[in-house]
């Protein structure tokens, strides 16, 4: 396998980026900025990932047939809302124009041994995500901690109909890690299903992105990571990607996501 140059990694990472603003103080102006940032001179991000209340605005800004998808979050970030509330959130977001739903599983219930709660939640939200809407399930691996539990959560989410499994909300002390990524990528391989992977939270540089892409290539092959199978959930990563692509080298970002 030919190793990609940092610039090639940057270009690939841009195409896989869910450019994210889930800040508590996000407002309409920030959404306008995010939509503009998602389209660069070097290509466009895969998606923007935003709070549900901004989906309709983003759809109006990007237009009905934008190459940049709109992802939004439900049951976020706590993971402990009632199923009917989460289903209503998802249904409304899709009606407002969301292309992708990022669902936090009830990970606290799973920690307490309740696997059925996870399966019930994912299945219920899957039922309202009619194709081509994608369902990406957030496992909150930094809270699950135990490798066996992360693997189990991955398999439950996959078997219940997830299109992607995602590490984190970005709202807890430990977010994406290579250790969790390894477990989740292997769970996808073990499942035999065409399911994608999304590390989120803490992926800030092209160097970080390289580590995750190399891991995915090792487990699934060099051509596996494309927008339909791999996303980065990040905000600050875009700064480093653009710095690399326009020849400025690496930038730094204080972003927490």
User: What's the pLDDT tens digit per position in 95-120?
Assistant: 999 999 999 999 999 999 999 999 99
Please report where in the chains the tokens 């994912």 appear, as a residue.
Answer: 122
Phi first, then psi: what are they for 218, rounded to 5°? -65, -40
d(CA 193, CA 15) in angstroms, rounded, equals 23
Q: Which two tokens stand for residue 75?
A: 């049951």
| Statement: residue 176 has pLDDT above 90 | yes
What's the pTM value of the predicted model, to 2 decimals?
0.96
CA nearest to 176, candidates 143, 152, 153, 206: 143
Phi first, then psi: what are they for 50, rounded to 5°? -140, 170
| Statement: residue 249 has pLDDT above 80 | no
Q: Taking all residues of the chain, what is their mean pLDDT, rounded to a whole number?
A: 96
> If pLDDT is split at 50, 70 and 90, which confidence band does 248 have?
confident
**Mean pLDDT of the region 170-193:** 98
Beta pairing, strands 69-74 & 47-50: parallel
| Statement: residue 253 has pLDDT above 70 | no
* DSSP at 97: T
Q: Do 201 and 233 contact (CB within 8 A), yes or no?
A: yes
Q: Do 38 and 12 contact (CB within 8 A), yes or no?
A: no
List b or e across 58-88, with b for residues whose CB sees 16 or more CB atoms inside 10 angstroms: bbebbeeebebbbbbbbbbeebebeeeebbe
Q: Report the share of the chain in percent with pLDDT over 90.
A: 94
Q: Which residues are catalytic?
A: 102, 166, 198
- Tell me the domains of the chain and their CATH numbers: 6-245 (3.20.20.70)
d(CA 200, CA 83) in angstroms, rounded, equals 24
Beta pairing, strands 134-138 & 100-104: parallel
* DSSP at 157: H
**Mean pLDDT of the region 62-70:** 97
Q: How far is CA 247 from the centre of its chain?
A: 27
d(CA 204, CA 22) in angstroms, rounded, equals 16
pLDDT at 250: 59
pLDDT at 3: 85
| Statement: residue 86 has pLDDT above 80 | yes
| Statement: residue 60 has pLDDT above 50 | yes
**Mean pLDDT of the region 77-82:** 98
Q: Do 25 and 77 contact (CB within 8 A), yes or no?
A: no
Top pLDDT among 253 and 164 is at 164
Range list of β-strands (E), the chain = 17-21, 39-40, 43-44, 47-50, 69-74, 100-104, 134-138, 164-166, 196-198, 232-234
Q: Report the share of the chain in percent with pLDDT over 70.
A: 96
């Amino acid at each position: 396998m030919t190793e990609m140059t940092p610039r090639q990694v940057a270009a690939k990472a841009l195409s896989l980026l869910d450019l994210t603003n889930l800040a508590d103080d996000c407002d309409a102006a920030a959404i306008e900025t995010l939509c503009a940032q998602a389209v660069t001179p070097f290509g466009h991000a895969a998606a923007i990932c935003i709070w549900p209340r901004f989906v309709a605005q983003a759809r109006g800004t990007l237009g009905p047939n934008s190459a940049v998808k709109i992802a939004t979050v439900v049951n976020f970030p706590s993971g402990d809302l009632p199923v009917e509330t989460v289903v209503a959130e998802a249904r409304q977001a899709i009606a407002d124009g969301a292309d992708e739903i990022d669902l936090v599983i009830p990970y606290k219930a799973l920690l307490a041994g309740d696997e059925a709660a996870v399966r019930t939640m994912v299945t219920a939200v899957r039922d309202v995500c009619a194709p081509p809407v994608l369902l990406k399930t957030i496992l909150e691996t930094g809270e699950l901690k135990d490798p066996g539990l992360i693997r189990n959560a991955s398999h439950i989410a996959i078997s219940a109909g997830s299109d992607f499994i995602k590490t984190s909300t970005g709202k807890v002390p430990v977010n994406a890690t290579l250790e969790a990524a390894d477990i989740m990528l292997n769970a996808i391989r073990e499942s035999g299903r065409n399911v994608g992977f999304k590390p989120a939270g803490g992926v800030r540089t092209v160097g970080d992105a390289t580590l995750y892409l190399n891991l995915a290539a090792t487990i699934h092959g060099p051509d596996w990571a494309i927008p339909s199978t791999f996303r980065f959930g990040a905000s600050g990563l875009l700064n480093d990607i653009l710095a690399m692509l326009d020849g400025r080298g690496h930038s730094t970002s204080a972003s927490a996501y």
